[in-house]
Amino acid sequence: MNALADKKCAPCEGGTQPMTGQVVADQLSELSNHWENANDKKLVGEFNFDNYYQTQAFVNAVAYIAHREDHHPDITFGYNSCQIELTTHAIGGLSENDFISAAKIDRLID
């Protein structure tokens, strides 16, 4: 889908400046339309499925990506929907890691 999904998340230390403005907009344009920018603080993804089995399989796959990338989203899900929030807590906003993780999650729904 895009080059972001081929990257690996890197540890992010405090003191790094979070992404804002046009940088966030440019990165967001590389993702599917499931993702929205929430005040340059986090990415919010909304995903819908036909049933609980598909939703749970997706959540499990997202958890695996989070484990592999060592970058952990907040995940809320129900019978046929899932919401994912990505942010880099160490810097209080968005980093490239959030966009890498989102791009890898997008690959699950291609």
Is the pLDDT at 26 greater than 70? The verdict is yes
Question: Any idea what DSSP says for residue 91?
Answer: T
> How confident is the model at residue 11, as a pLDDT?
86
Is the pLDDT at 50 greater than 70? The verdict is yes
Three-state secondary structure of 16-82: CCCECHHHHHHHHCCCCCCEEEECCCEEEEEEECCCHHHHHHHHHHHHHHHHHHCCCCEEEECCCEE
> Could you tell me what percent of the chain has a pLDDT over 70?
96
Mean pLDDT (the chain) is 94
* Per-residue pLDDT tens digits for 54-99: 999 999 999 999 999 999 999 999 999 999 999 999 999 999 999 9
Q: How far, in Å, CA of 68 to CA of 40, rounded?
A: 25
The hierarchical CATH code for the domain 34-109 is: 3.30.1360.20
Is the pLDDT at 13 greater than 90? The verdict is no
Residue ranges per domain, the chain? 34-109
